[in-house]
């Protein structure tokens, strides 16, 4: 199948075993004809062995042996499907123990998040938790799937009641685009095919919404940011004086002739050429991987950022982030970490825990200063040198950091610049 | 008029180039694992783009089972010459000769699992700290959980429970002495994406991927190419069929499919209508439901 236009949409699904998430993903893949015959045969056989009636669609997302034996999902699993309109990447995140860590990971690159609600139970703590994380990670689009409608008689008033519950608690969150869909993943209602039973619902099916969400504006096209990954110096006969700065445009648009500044040094120059592979191009935009040459011979290396002269990020050595603690080991007081921000690394320390968020009630806790797995807190970070920062709300790439423990080399926390 | 968004193939390309440049920037001595299959050819093509006009700054490393398609070896040597890069060969035959591993016995014996030792030995010998592979998450369920930067302990083992979370585009490639990484720049590509891209970029691939006449044997529900390494079982016969291969590996276990698709156009079209997974014809994956998971834990690609 050849898709011409056509964009890539990444979405994340969060939920526990009981809310029908695996069945929903299975249904999406099955009804969009993304399941291969040998996979279907294997699942049909397993379903029969387990005594299920028909094919248990949830088995499509079954993972590693350890997981099957324990009936859990260890980690984010990625799945793919394509329709004539788009290519989709699903980051399927499990809802137990390391739930925050996994959900934050899956959400960090997502255009959209699917939040599952069991129509019988309505909004529960987990719904709030997932919505909070989706909002914290600034996922542009949220699709609330009110599932198991068959178990509430496909009731329109129940559906509206749940929308009411959701809107009540989510008024405290920052969300741009929220949709609600009544569905039954088990029966296939409103997943790929329209529900005949719920003719009172006028909106699109899940697939239809995923195919038509406006995602071109998800990336910041205003503030041009280009973190330099590496310097290309072929020093060959043919390209004797070539000195190209290679990287991926984080946001904004660059054109040949633009006046730029290199940070942190602040030296200015003009873009002489832009290359995408062998091809010379006149403009580049996020998220293209390119290399840039400049008119002037100035010192640029990995970790530097090329920006427009008249639109520059903040240069800070001390800044606040919303931090999601990912590691099993809790944070040590005033311990040193390595902070990784775009292609730059600096040593850093957590200077202060300002407050911790209770992600079920959205209340702030100003007393408890500890940071352990699944915690989300506002903290002050101090680095040995200045970083070129934007707020995470404006820019997901230049507004995000990870912390690495020098003693274990593990990634222990993810931070979003406030 | 510019639309200022990328189509999916351009976005996948850009992501892969980003990862290849991160590998170069973060590691001391990375190599591309080159099997001669389309995925490693694609990775090599992307590396060419990532570093143009410089040469690819990685050596290619081939883990050679000794059971090769002759087309693959010629293709490999031609490519290495045209790119001007170094070739490192890890030989399973050498590992056998040195007594590091011994051949499997029985009808379905292959050298597939033996590659693990050869690969890990070659990584250690050549002081490689990152081996770039063409693994894709859509291939197999153990691979669906793989990271872009996949950490291996000092025994070369993959522990799915102990992988670093990868957020945004921030990749943590820090390691201790003796450990290494595998990097998978085309993690997010599907088989269809690979073919659409190969077609679009007109990337040269071994002729084995296109339909051709070949002597084959029907075994394990696919057409296994007849070669000097194949011992015929009772009831098996060698026939000539027009086939092509969806994946290329050790010649003794790579099954072909009957096909008339003798051009990239036709292959892409055929793949779009395929109803079976790509690795469905690889007998190494059919051994058990967790065959890939088990091999990966030991240090497989």
Task: Report chain B residues whose CB lies below 8 A from the CB of A345.
Answer: none
A115-173 residue pLDDT tens: 999 999 999 888 888 899 999 999 999 999 999 999 999 999 999 999 999 999 998 88
**pLDDT of B278:** 67
Q: How far apart are CA A48 and CA B263, in angstroms?
A: 41
Domain annotation for chain A: domains and CATH numbers: 8-212 (3.40.50.300), 225-308 (2.40.30.10), 314-417 (2.40.30.10)
Find where tokens 């992600």 sit.
A359
Q: Over range A380-391, report the average pLDDT.
A: 97
Determine whether the interchain pair A216/B4 forms a contact, defined as Cβ–Cβ distance below 8 Å: yes
Other beta carbons less than 10 A from residue B297's beta carbon? 15
Q: Which of residues 158-197 of B touch A (CB under 8 A)?
A: 160-161, 163-170, 172, 174-176, 187-188, 190, 192-193, 196
Cross-strand partners of B60? B32, B87
From A77, A87, A409, residue closest to B144, measured CB to CB? A77
Mean of the pLDDT values across residues A303-314?
97
Say if the Cβ atoms of B55 and A285 lie within 8 Å. Answer: no
Q: Do A289 and B21 touch (CB under 8 A)?
A: yes
Q: Name the pairing type of β-strands A177-182 and A141-147.
A: parallel
* Nearest-CA distance B91 → chain A (Å): 31
Interface of B with A in 195-234 (CB under 8 A): 196
Is pLDDT of A340 > 50? yes
Q: What is the pLDDT of residue A73?
A: 56
State which residue of chain B sits closest to A325, comparing Cα positions. B165
The mean per-residue pLDDT over the stretch A7-25 comes to 83
Task: With beta carbons under 8 A apart, name residues in chain B contacting A396.
Answer: 168
d(Cα A144, Cα A368) in Å, to the nearest integer? Answer: 33
How far away is chain B from the Cα of A36, in angstroms, using its nearest Cα? 5
pLDDT attached to residue B286: 54
- What Å distances lie between residue B187 and B41, B136, B137, B144, B280, CA to CA? 15, 4, 5, 9, 19
Q: Is B297 on the interface with A (CB under 8 A)?
A: no
Tell me the chain B residues in contact with residue A278 when contact means C-beta distances shorter than 8 Å. 49, 52-53
Catalogue all structural domains in chain B, each as residue range(s) with its CATH number: 8-192+290-298 (3.40.50.620), 206-285 (no CATH)
CB contact (8 A) between residue B145 and residue A229: no
Asked whether the predicted pLDDT for residue A175 surpasses 90, the reply is no
- Is the sign of the CA dihedral A243, A219, A76, A84 positive or negative? negative
| Interface contact flag, A230 B190, Cβ < 8 Å | no
Tokens standing for residue A379: 């903290």
Mean pLDDT of A376-384: 96
pLDDT of residue B138: 86
Mean pLDDT of the residues in chain A: 90
At A32-86, the pLDDT tens digits run 877 777 777 777 777 777 777 777 777 776 665 555 555 555 678 888 988 889 9
The closest alpha carbon to A78, from B172, B146, B194, B159, belongs to B146
Residue B141 pLDDT: 75
Q: What is the pLDDT of residue A63?
A: 60
Cα gap B95→A195, rounded to integer Å = 60
Mutate to test the interface with B, among A210, A224, A233, A289 (most CBs of B within 10 A): A289
Q: What percent of chain A has pLDDT over 90?
A: 67
Chain B CA closest to residue A218? B5
Out of B3, B192, B290, closest to residue A65 by CB: B290
Among candidates B54, B138, B172 on the partner chain, residue whose Cβ is nearest the Cβ of A340: B172
Q: In 3-state terms, what secondary structure has residue A163?
A: helix
Mean pLDDT score of chain B, rounded to an integer? 87
Residues in chain A with CB shorter than 8 Å from the CB of B138 are 79-80
Cβ neighbours of A76 in B, within 8 Å: 145
SS (H, E, C) chain B: CCCCCCCHHHHHHHHHHHHHHHHHHHCCCEEEECCCCHHHHHHHHHHHHHHCCCCCCCEEEEEECCCCCHHHHHHHHHHHHHHCCCEEEEEHHHHHHCCCCCCCCCCCCCCCCCHHHHHHHHHHHCCCCEEECCCCCCCCCCHHHCCCEEEECCCCCCCHHHCCCCECCECCCCCCCCCEEEECCCCCCCHHHHHHHHHHHCCCCCHHHCCEEEEEEEECCEEEECCCCCCCCCCCCEEEEEEEECCCCCCCCECEEECCCCCHHHHHHHHHCCCCCHHHHEHHHHCCCCHHHHHHHHCCC
Option in A101, A221, A291 nearest B4 (CB): A221
Instruction: Give the model's confidence band at A225: pLDDT under 50 very low, under 70 low, under 90 confident, else very high.
Output: very high
How open is the CA angle A320-A10-A338, to the nearest 5 degrees? 35
Q: Distance between CA B164 and CA A408 in Å, rounded? A: 11
| Mutation for B interface: A6, A22, A80, most B CBs within 10 A | A80
Torsions phi, psi for A344 (to 5 deg): -110, 145
Of A6, A37, A239, the CB nearest to B53: A239
pLDDT at position B291: 65
Closest listed residue to residue A101, CA positions, set A124, A123, A73? A73
pLDDT at site B289: 56
In chain A, which residue's Cα lies nearest the Cα of B166? Answer: A105
SS3 A29: helix
- Do B145 and A64 count as a contact with CB atoms less than 8 A apart? yes
Residues of A in contact with B148 (CB under 8 A): none
Query: What pLDDT shows up at residue A237?
Result: 85
pLDDT at B288: 57
Quote the pLDDT of residue A1.
Answer: 44
Instruction: Please measure the distance between the N-terminal and C-terminal CA atoms of chain A and give it in whole angstroms.
Output: 43
User: Six-digit token pair at A417?
Assistant: 């610049």
Q: Which residues of chain B have pLDDT under 70?
A: 1-2, 107-108, 275-293, 295-296, 299-301
Q: What's the rounded Cα separation, in Å, for the pair B208 and B75?
A: 11
Q: Mark yes or no for CB contact B168/A396 under 8 Å.
A: yes
**Least CA distance to A282: which residue of chain B?**
B2
**Interface list for B 54-113 with A (CB within 8 A):** 54-55
Alpha-carbon distances of A78 from A134, A312, A416, B102, B188, rounded to whole Å: 18, 36, 23, 36, 8
Nearest Cα residue to B52 out of A351, A278, A94: A278
Interaxial angle between packed helices B191-201 and B38-51, expressed in degrees from 0 to 180 and rounded to the nearest 10: 50
Res A310: pLDDT? 94
CA of A209 vs chain B CAs: smallest distance (Å): 18
């Amino acid at each position: 199948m050849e898709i011409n236009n056509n964009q890539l949409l990444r979405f994340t699904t969060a939920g526990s075993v009981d809310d029908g998430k695996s069945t929903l993903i299975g249904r999406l893949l099955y009804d969009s004809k993304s399941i291969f015959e040998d996979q279907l045969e294997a699942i049909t056989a397993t379903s029969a062995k387990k005594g299920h009636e028909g094919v248990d669609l949830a088995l499509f997302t079954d993972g590693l042996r350890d997981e099957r034996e324990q009936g859990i999902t260890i980690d984010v699993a990625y799945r793919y499907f394509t329709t004539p309109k788009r290519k989709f990447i699903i980051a399927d995140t499990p809802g137990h123990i390391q739930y925050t860590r996994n959900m934050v990971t899956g959400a960090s690159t997502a255009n959209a998040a699917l939040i599952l609600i069991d129509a019988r139970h309505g909004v529960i703590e987990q719904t709030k938790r997932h919505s909070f994380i989706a909002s914290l990670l600034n996922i542009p689009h949220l699709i609330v799937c009110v599932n198991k409608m068959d178990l509430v008689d496909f009731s329109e008033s129940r559906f509206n009641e749940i929308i009411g519950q959701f809107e009540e608690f989510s008024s405290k969150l920052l969300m741009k685009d929220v949709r609600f869909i009544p569905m039954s993943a088990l029966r296939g209602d409103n997943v790929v095919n329209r529900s005949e039973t719920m003719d009172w619902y006028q909106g699109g099916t899940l697939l239809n919404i995923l195919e038509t969400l406006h995602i071109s504006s998800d990336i910041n096209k205003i503030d041009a940011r280009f973190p330099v990954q590496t310097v290309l110096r072929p020093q060959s006969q043919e390209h004797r004086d070539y000195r190209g700065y290679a990287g991926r445009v984080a946001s904004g648009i660059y054109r040949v002739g633009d006046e730029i500044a290199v940070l942190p040094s602040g030296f200015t120059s003009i873009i002489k050429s832009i290359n995408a592979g062998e091809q010379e191009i006149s403009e580049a935009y996020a998220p293209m991987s390119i290399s840039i040459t400049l008119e002037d011979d100035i010192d640029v290396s990995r970790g530097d950022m090329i920006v427009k002269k008249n639109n520059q990020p903040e240069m800070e050595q001390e800044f606040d982030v919303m931090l999601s603690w990912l590691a099993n080991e809790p944070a040590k007081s005033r311990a040193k970490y390595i902070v990784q921000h775009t292609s730059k690394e600096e040593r850093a320390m957590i200077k202060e825990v300002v407050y911790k968020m209770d992600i079920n009630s959205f209340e702030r806790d100003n007393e408890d200063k500890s940071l352990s797995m699944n915690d989300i807190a506002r903290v002050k970070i101090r680095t040995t040198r200045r970083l070129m920062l934007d707020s995470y709300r404006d820019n997901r790439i230049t507004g995000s950091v990870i912390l690495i423990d020098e003693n274990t080399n593990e990634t222990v926390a993810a931070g979003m610049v406030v | 008029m510019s639309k200022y968004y990328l189509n999916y193939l351009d976005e996948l390309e850009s992501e892969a180039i980003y990862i290849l440049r991160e590998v170069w920037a973060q590691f001391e001595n990375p190599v591309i694992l080159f099997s001669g299959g389309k995925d490693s050819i694609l990775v090599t093509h992307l590396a060419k783009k990532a570093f143009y006009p410089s040469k690819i700054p990685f050596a290619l490393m081939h883990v050679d089972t000794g059971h090769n398609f002759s087309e693959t070896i010629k293709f490999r040597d031609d490519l290495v010459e045209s790119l001007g890069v170094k070739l490192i060969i890890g030989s399973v035959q050498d590992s056998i000769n040195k007594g590091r591993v011994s051949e499997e016995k029985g009808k379905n014996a292959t050298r597939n699992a033996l590659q693990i030792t050869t690969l890990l030995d070659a990584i250690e010998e050549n002081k490689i700290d990152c081996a770039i592979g063409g693994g894709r998450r859509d291939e197999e369920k153990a691979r669906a959980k793989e990271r872009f930067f996949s950490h291996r302990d000092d025994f070369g083992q993959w522990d799915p429970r102990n992988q670093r979370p990868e957020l945004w585009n921030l990749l943590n490639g820090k390691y201790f002495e003796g450990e290494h990484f595998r990097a998978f720049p085309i993690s997010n590509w599907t088989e269809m994406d690979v073919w659409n891209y190969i077609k679009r970029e007109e990337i040269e691939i071994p002729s084995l991927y296109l339909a051709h006449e070949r002597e084959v044997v029907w075994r394990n529900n696919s057409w296994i190419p007849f070669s000097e390494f194949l011992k015929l079982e009772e009831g098996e016969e060698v026939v000539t069929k027009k086939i092509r291969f969806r994946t290329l590996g050790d010649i003794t276990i790579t099954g072909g499919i009957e096909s008339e698709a003798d051009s990239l156009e036709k292959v892409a079209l055929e793949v779009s209508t395929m109803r079976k997974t790509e690795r469905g014809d690889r007998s190494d994956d059919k051994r058990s439901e967790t065959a890939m998971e088990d091999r990966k834990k030991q240090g497989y690609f």
